[in-house]
Chains A and B, each alone.
Chain A
Amino acid sequence: MSMDATLSFEEAMEKYDPVLGFEVHVELNTKSKMFSSAPNVFGDEPNTNVNEVDLGMPGVLPVVNRVAIESSIKIGLALNCKIAESCTFARKQYFYPDTPKNFQTSQYEDPIAYDGYLDIELSDGTIFRVEIERAHMEEDAGKLTHMGGAAGRIQGADFSLVDYNRSGVPLVEIVTKPIEGAGSRAPELAKAYVAAVREIVKNLGVSDAKMERGNVRCDANVSLRPHGRERFGIRSETKNVNSLRAVEHAVRYEIQRHAAVLDAGNPIIQETRHWHEDTRTTTSGRPKSDADDYRYFPEPDLVPIVASREWVEELRATLPEPPAARRKRLQSDWGYSDLEFRDVVNAGVMDEIEETIAAGATATVARKWWMGEIVGRAKNADVDPGQLGVQPATIVELNRLVEDGKINNKMATEVLDGVLAGEGTPAEIVEKRGLAVVSDDGPLLEAIDAALAAQPDVADKIRAGKLQAIGAIVGGVMKATRGQADAGRVKELILAKLGVEG
């Protein structure tokens, strides 16, 4: 695999103006599938959550899942879309073994939701409006696993296995209009847009919204044009970019790659691209033209979906507060400053902090752990903080151990590392690593005596009322106990020993 040439991002931006477009697929968390009564459950044994409809057996017919329609309407409303009074399904036809009928039942000419927008807040507080072209309903395909050959790709595989559990899972595909004017903020906007969509569907409760499970999948379209030109350049479509960081990286990479191709005087090939998380690069997929012939025609087995205005209004009334309002409320509830709150949002840990507070932590403690410890670790591990695997309950437990004086802050970070290394619960790790704070006064008193004897001048200063000098003695004790002493208790004991009022 030859590496594509790239220009630096800065140079690319000097020469070209990026235009973006996103197709975000959201898997709905309905109990059953889009067109069948089989369960919609992730992670079960392959081919167990299927019935004759999902397998495309002869004679089967689809029946539309009402809850999936409601979820789709809710998504449309949250994206400020118009909701079609009547819409239909169509068949998108292509032969592929993950598609049991060899056509996908989707919406074509008349999506359930159209003409919306989403206001995206960038890291400096700038609001950028992304126009939504449409949000339409469709069914997911099965999952192919290519065995043998290289890197799990179909090319060179000996055989492929197919799991139809995902076949027929309801999807809503959200398609933006071309996004112009983002300039050098395009990668950031890309990430913020996908984050906003994920936040919306999670907030609505219509999707589990876990990107690592493919609940939210992003296809990112990128094209460049010279500054000042109106006509769009030729685009590439990077498929299945499945983390927020990857969305940002993929857009940045494609901008740099396009710029190098254009700079060399070559045309961009209209094609899909595969994203590689390990190298943070894309490789060529299949050519894609606007004239791909899917032989769409109206699905004759389904009747039109009629969304009465009363129904739409009923659904609108059930919508949770919009993300912007929610942010305002959370900031005020938590008492964070504007800067603190923006940092939390930009770090992508707002939901995590909310969950941690719900699990029993104070707002200060939750922020301290997520922003102080976890975000940094996630950055080092190159994953989104929420994907690091820290549970809200873990933080609450860690904090309780500190507050109860069982461990100190330094130990607590060590315990957190243990949790991330999969060594067990915080209590178990404290036990296993022998991290408990020394609370028996006997060894402490010995260490204090030794420290006072080692620094008689400091002892005199304390006796004379210079209480700030106590730090040197405490430090000596902590050193002697290898940090396992409770500093507060040590202080008390020193003062008592010297007969000084604290």
Chain B
Amino acid sequence: MTDTNELIRLSAAQLAGMLAAGEVTSVEVTQAYLDRIAAVDGGERGVNAFLHVNTEEALAVAAEVDAIRAAGGAAAEELHVLAGVPIAVKDLIVTIGQPTTAGSKILEGWHSPYDATVVKRLRAAKMPILGKTNLDEFAMGSSTEHSAYGPTRNPWDLDRIPGGSGGGSAAAVAAFEAPLALGTDTGGSIRQPGAVTGTVGVKPTYGGVSRYGAIAMASSLDQIGPVSRTVLDSALLHQVIGGHDPFDSTSLPDPLEDLVAAARVGNVEGMRIGIIKELHGEGYQAGVENRFNESLELLKQAGAQIVEVSCPNFRYALGAYYLIMPSEASSNLAKFDGVRYGLRVLPEDGPMTIERVMGATRAAGFGDEVKRRIILGTYALSAGYYDAYYGSAQKVRTLVQRDFEAAFAQADVLISPTAPTTAFKLGEKLHDPLAMYLNDVATIPANLAGVPGLTLPGGLADEDGLPVGIQLLAPAREDARLYRVGAVLESLLEAQWGGPLLDKAPPLVETLVDAKEAK
């Protein structure tokens, strides 16, 4: 058996191979990750990537897979390639048998009576679910500091944010607490955390993965997607969760492409890769810009044709996003009223009317950022303001879509830095919402247009030694292109680094032990 410290650093694809070959059991793998979670996640300066650890069920599923494999025959042959490979699930996605909080007090202790479609698919593939990962409350944030259950820390530097809203999933994967995780991406919540934690994350084409069971923030923007340490691993997971779902009316009817094959036979020769003029340069950290240029150089050397495209309406994207997203969120979050489930708070004095119970519940149950967006969205949809705010934002959305169409006429894939900066310090932007929102400037256009995006580690910034993300964007339904190009760039970069970028991360256990001893 492999040493558990080595085991947890293997990719999902490698683990799948060893499981299939009988070199390791799923129980061993799952236990190794559970041990890692126990070692690094808790405590005052722990990573705090998990809100709930699903030990018993995960080990039971692992044991079931091991038993099927041991028995051999048709059942063993039919096991999914990822059977027995554990996974973490963002706590915005509902699961039977585990609490789902959405990072909010208003759902504390709530158990879903149904599984999200993606969770059903994980179960069908017999992937042990390690637990539920931390997030900004209702996925509203770019730092995971807006979680009602405390912030997640960035494994590269425990004083820094892991990005958000899916900081828990990204940090879990970066800290080797899970080989794979599910995230959700409304304006960059998979990609920006991926960038600042040196991991891979994909926001699929809108409609490519069922949203059924993902607690909605902004229905027209939300997508569930994979979080992993390698491009191939994301493709493997994307293949499990993707494809049509009759429970989601916005789910695409198309059969899923072979994304795994795309990741395995990556190729950029002759491909036109477009730099988006508006998504780099001014406002982007120098170290981010340097790593971005390096990636361009590598792609060029590999035979890609680098072109520059302009998307002039992207400058309005952030503003439009911060009208559409809160508008939809204000409506989607109306159901949390204390009547049917979740927290119920009674008013301290005065008449006990339903309006006042709903008000007291929402006042106590929602955090400030959630309230800020509900108020913003309620205002934007109000009679007399609708046309000026929501209506105008929808027009911008159309213009952003047209910019993408024009850009994709000139380039097969677009490229940009994923986030303008590396991970900032915990608390640094907590009280400056606008500065926080600017983190998503490069990721938001893809959500507005529904096109797929992938982030992969592009190296470490010179000035702070923290990970930089490179974002690839493809036309809708062309997710395979992201994997094709991403796999090539990943291998070129890793060849340069002499291994995965995460090998350069500080050894977390020692850091935590040092911190403990220093106390």
Hey, which bits of chain A sit against chain B, CB under 8 A?
52, 55-64, 91, 93, 95, 97, 100-103, 160, 162, 291, 293, 295-297, 300-303
Does B519 reach chain A (CB closer than 8 Å)? no
Does B102 reach chain A (CB closer than 8 Å)? yes
* Contact (Cβ within 8 A) B381 A291: no
With a cutoff of 8 Å between Cβ atoms, the chain B residues found around residue A303 in the complex are 249-250
Does B507 reach chain A (CB closer than 8 Å)? no
Q: Which of B341, B358, B381 contacts A95 (CB 8 A)?
A: B358
With a cutoff of 8 Å between Cβ atoms, the chain B residues found around residue A103 in the complex are 331, 334
* Contact (Cβ within 8 A) B249 A57: no
Does B165 reach chain A (CB closer than 8 Å)? no
* Contact (Cβ within 8 A) B113 A57: yes
Does B219 reach chain A (CB closer than 8 Å)? yes
- Of B125-133, B208-216, B457-465, the one touching chain A: B208-216
With a cutoff of 8 Å between Cβ atoms, the chain B residues found around residue A100 in the complex are 335, 339-340
Does B233 reach chain A (CB closer than 8 Å)? no
* Contact (Cβ within 8 A) A301 B340: no
The CA-CA distance from A471 to B439 in the complex, in Å, is 105
* CB-based nearest B residue for A162: B339
Interface centre among B328, B337, B355 (most CB of A within 10 A): B337
Does B97 reach chain A (CB closer than 8 Å)? no
Does B382 reach chain A (CB closer than 8 Å)? yes
The CA-CA distance from A467 to B372 in the complex, in Å, is 99
* Contact (Cβ within 8 A) A59 B216: yes
Q: Which of B107, B341, B378 contacts A295 (CB 8 A)?
A: B378
With a cutoff of 8 Å between Cβ atoms, the chain B residues found around residue A300 in the complex are 218-220, 250, 328
Does B446 reach chain A (CB closer than 8 Å)? no
The CA-CA distance from A41 to B294 in the complex, in Å, is 64
Count of A-B residue pairs with CB < 8 Å = 100
With a cutoff of 8 Å between Cβ atoms, the chain A residues found around residue B102 in the complex are 58
With a cutoff of 8 Å between Cβ atoms, the chain B residues found around residue A302 in the complex are 249-250
Chain A nearest CB, measured from B398 CB (Å): 14
Chain B nearest CB, measured from A294 CB (Å): 8
* Contact (Cβ within 8 A) B249 A95: no
Does B383 reach chain A (CB closer than 8 Å)? yes
Does B22 reach chain A (CB closer than 8 Å)? no
With a cutoff of 8 Å between Cβ atoms, the chain A residues found around residue B239 in the complex are none
Q: A297-B386, A300-B219 are in contact. Are A57 and B250 (CB under 8 A)?
A: no
Q: A95-B355, A97-B354, A302-B249 are in contact. Are A61 and B335 (CB under 8 A)?
A: no
* CB-based nearest B residue for A292: B383
* Contact (Cβ within 8 A) B390 A297: yes
With a cutoff of 8 Å between Cβ atoms, the chain A residues found around residue B116 in the complex are 59
With a cutoff of 8 Å between Cβ atoms, the chain B residues found around residue A64 in the complex are 249
Q: Which of A52, A59, A91 contacts B331 (CB 8 A)?
A: A91
Chain B nearest CB, measured from A92 CB (Å): 10
Q: Which of A58, A61, A91 contacts B211 (CB 8 A)?
A: A61
If over half of A's interface residues share one DSSP class (helix, strand or loop), that class is named, otherwise mixed; here it is loop
Does B112 reach chain A (CB closer than 8 Å)? yes
With a cutoff of 8 Å between Cβ atoms, the chain B residues found around residue A95 in the complex are 334, 337, 355, 358
Chain A nearest CB, measured from B329 CB (Å): 11
Chain B nearest CB, measured from A177 CB (Å): 23
The CA-CA distance from A56 to B216 in the complex, in Å, is 12
Contact flags (1/0) for B365-388 with A, using CB distance below 8 Å? 000000000000010011100100
* Contact (Cβ within 8 A) A295 B93: no
27 residue pairs A–B, Cβ–Cβ below 8 Å:
A52-B112, A55-B340, A55-B341, A56-B340, A58-B94, A58-B341, A59-B116, A59-B213, A59-B215, A61-B250, A63-B249, A64-B249, A93-B381, A95-B355, A97-B339, A97-B354, A100-B340, A101-B335, A102-B334, A160-B354, A162-B339, A295-B378, A295-B386, A296-B381, A297-B390, A300-B328, A301-B250
* Contact (Cβ within 8 A) B215 A63: no
With a cutoff of 8 Å between Cβ atoms, the chain A residues found around residue B211 in the complex are 61
Question: Within B199-234, which residues are at the interface with A (CB < 8 Å)?
Answer: 211-216, 218-220
Does B247 reach chain A (CB closer than 8 Å)? yes
Q: A55-B340, A102-B334 are in contact. Are A61 and B215 (CB under 8 A)?
A: no
The CA-CA distance from A56 to B334 in the complex, in Å, is 10
* CB-based nearest B residue for A89: B249
Does B246 reach chain A (CB closer than 8 Å)? yes
Chain B nearest CB, measured from A123 CB (Å): 44
The CA-CA distance from A485 to B339 in the complex, in Å, is 67
* Contact (Cβ within 8 A) B331 A297: yes
The CA-CA distance from A297 to B334 in the complex, in Å, is 14
Q: A91-B331, A295-B382 are in contact. Are A61 and B212 (CB under 8 A)?
A: yes
The CA-CA distance from A441 to B200 in the complex, in Å, is 103
Q: Which of A52, A56, A101 contacts B113 (CB 8 A)?
A: A52
* CB-based nearest B residue for A154: B354
* Contact (Cβ within 8 A) A63 B334: no
Q: Which of B220, B328, B383 contacts A293 (CB 8 A)?
A: B383
With a cutoff of 8 Å between Cβ atoms, the chain B residues found around residue A52 in the complex are 112-114
* Contact (Cβ within 8 A) A93 B334: yes
The CA-CA distance from A333 to B381 in the complex, in Å, is 58
Chain A nearest CB, measured from B291 CB (Å): 36
With a cutoff of 8 Å between Cβ atoms, the chain A residues found around residue B335 in the complex are 56, 58, 100-102
Chain A nearest CB, measured from B331 CB (Å): 6
* CB-based nearest A residue for B107: A58
The CA-CA distance from A43 to B4 in the complex, in Å, is 60
Q: A97-B354, A303-B249 are in contact. Are A59 and B334 (CB under 8 A)?
A: no
The CA-CA distance from A59 to B213 in the complex, in Å, is 4
With a cutoff of 8 Å between Cβ atoms, the chain B residues found around residue A102 in the complex are 334-335, 337
* Contact (Cβ within 8 A) A295 B247: no
Contact flags (1/0) for B9-27 with A, using CB distance below 8 Å? 0000000000000000000
The CA-CA distance from A301 to B339 in the complex, in Å, is 23
Does B267 reach chain A (CB closer than 8 Å)? no
Question: Within B285-311, which residues are at the interface with A (CB < 8 Å)?
Answer: none
With a cutoff of 8 Å between Cβ atoms, the chain A residues found around residue B213 in the complex are 59-60
Does B248 reach chain A (CB closer than 8 Å)? yes
The CA-CA distance from A296 to B341 in the complex, in Å, is 25
* Contact (Cβ within 8 A) A295 B248: no
* CB-based nearest A residue for B394: A298
Chain A nearest CB, measured from B268 CB (Å): 35
With a cutoff of 8 Å between Cβ atoms, the chain B residues found around residue A55 in the complex are 340-341
* CB-based nearest A residue for B357: A97
Q: Which of A58, A93, A97, A101 contacts B215 (CB 8 A)?
A: A58
Does B455 reach chain A (CB closer than 8 Å)? no
* Contact (Cβ within 8 A) A59 B383: no
With a cutoff of 8 Å between Cβ atoms, the chain B residues found around residue A97 in the complex are 337, 339, 354
Does B147 reach chain A (CB closer than 8 Å)? no
* Contact (Cβ within 8 A) A301 B327: no
Does B169 reach chain A (CB closer than 8 Å)? no
Question: Within B335-357, which residues are at the interface with A (CB < 8 Å)?
Answer: 335-337, 339-341, 354-355
* CB-based nearest A residue for B212: A61
The CA-CA distance from A316 to B341 in the complex, in Å, is 44
Chain A nearest CB, measured from B357 CB (Å): 9
| CB-CB nearest 8 A-B residue pairs | A102-B334, A300-B219, A300-B220, A295-B381, A59-B213, A58-B215, A56-B335, A293-B383
The CA-CA distance from A62 to B354 in the complex, in Å, is 26
* Contact (Cβ within 8 A) B219 A301: yes
Chain B nearest CB, measured from A42 CB (Å): 22
With a cutoff of 8 Å between Cβ atoms, the chain B residues found around residue A63 in the complex are 246-249
* CB-based nearest A residue for B341: A57
